[in-house]
Chain A
């Protein structure tokens, strides 16, 4: 059981690393999909089959499809691969990598060497849900209105574009 867990987790880590380092966007995405599937297996092994199913249906099945969709629309060629390869040169990721590694060390220190060092009380997911839909429900509703406004705005922009190009009104 534990071996299976580590196996799936290792696949997730390797696939994510490969996704980050691919120059070709489509190849990177395929690795990302594999990584999401591995995370779904991890969820399943941890006794959360529902989360595993949602991981596949929503992330691997819908959101990643939209990513592939965008890549197809962009018509990336060999030149895009070359540009991407340049951006993967060490001088771009070395400093952010070192800074992120510092954070990782800090996280390890907090969790293993000196547990219980967080300031104040620990906030559980349930407490977050209760406060979001309790005292802060108005703020949540306003945020959702903002999203709706964004949706209507995007629709409006797209509509004007269709009208100008003539035809294909639906």
Chain B
């Protein structure tokens, strides 16, 4: 692609991701309504889709208030970190065989790095708020995200072993015959759970568990700064779904339809699945979350790694 085309495509990816995240706020509520046998927002516009615009107007016109006891600079900076990090993560996602921004040979590591930088938003937001609920929320999320990052990385290493590359494009091309969700089913399971914990969505939204921590790390946030946190969370959800599609479900691969359409279809289905999880599973206690991580997820991902390595060596030797 020429530099101009790349720049335009980059802008399109940015606009598409942010737009999709905005629509998701409405779509998720409608879908939750279906599963919980109620309507959800259905008044404004066709099927209620203009609810997004109404929410945006409300958030934009709210008083942009910084609490006097907060650490002003850090408080304002914190919400931007998660949005920037998540948007950067989209740079390495291959949407089609020739439709990608960057084909880094460390694509997978780049994604892991960006998700680990997103933690700062929550941490610094909680710290700068100077509020005990925000601090507790921030502390919890630091522990949660750092622990689940470990298994997130380990669960992907089986795929890297089978492909022999960190490049996401190579990973998709290696799935021509068989998607990695079959041979790497354990890896997929661990990555899925770690993905939910990393984007701290229900059932793993303990950093902001509202019945015990009011709203956790964003207790003191309102207006557009609060909206940035929400935007970052939805961007994280979309990014995780894009990564699961790319790494485990063959990315753009599929018969008849063009590649990007397949990619969009698979990603949308996964997003629906994430919303279903939110509707179906109650939130665990904080210590349950941590023991699930270290006592079950870590051994499981290590077992998957050893097993994959052994089988890969055996196949290569035979």
| Residues of A in contact with B (beta carbons under 8 Å apart) | 24, 26-27, 30, 33, 49-50, 52-54, 56-57, 60-62, 65-66, 68-69, 71-73, 168, 170
Contact = CB atoms under 8 A, between A and B. Distances in A.
Contact of A65 (B105, B146, B287, B291): B146
Chain B interface size band reads 20 to 34
Q: Do most interface residues of chain A lie in helix, strand or loop, or is the interface mixed? A: helix
B113 A30 contact: no
Contact of A62 (B73, B110, B135, B149): B149
A168 B149 CA distance: 25
A72 B139 contact: yes
Contact of A68 (B105, B109, B123, B291): B123
A57 B116 CA distance: 7
Nearest to B119: A65
A49 B105 contact: yes
A54 B142 CA distance: 19
B109 A65 contact: no
B120 interface: yes
A26 to B, nearest CB: 6
Nearest to B112: A57
A158 to B, nearest CB: 14
B127 A56 contact: no
B117 A61 contact: yes
B153 interface: yes
19 contacts: A24-B71, A30-B77, A49-B105, A53-B112, A56-B113, A56-B117, A57-B109, A57-B113, A57-B116, A61-B116, A61-B117, A62-B116, A65-B119, A65-B123, A68-B123, A69-B139, A69-B143, A72-B135, A72-B138
A27 B72 CA distance: 11
A33 B123 CA distance: 13
Interface string B75-115: 00100000000000000000000000000111001101100
A68 B120 CA distance: 9
A38 to B, nearest CB: 14
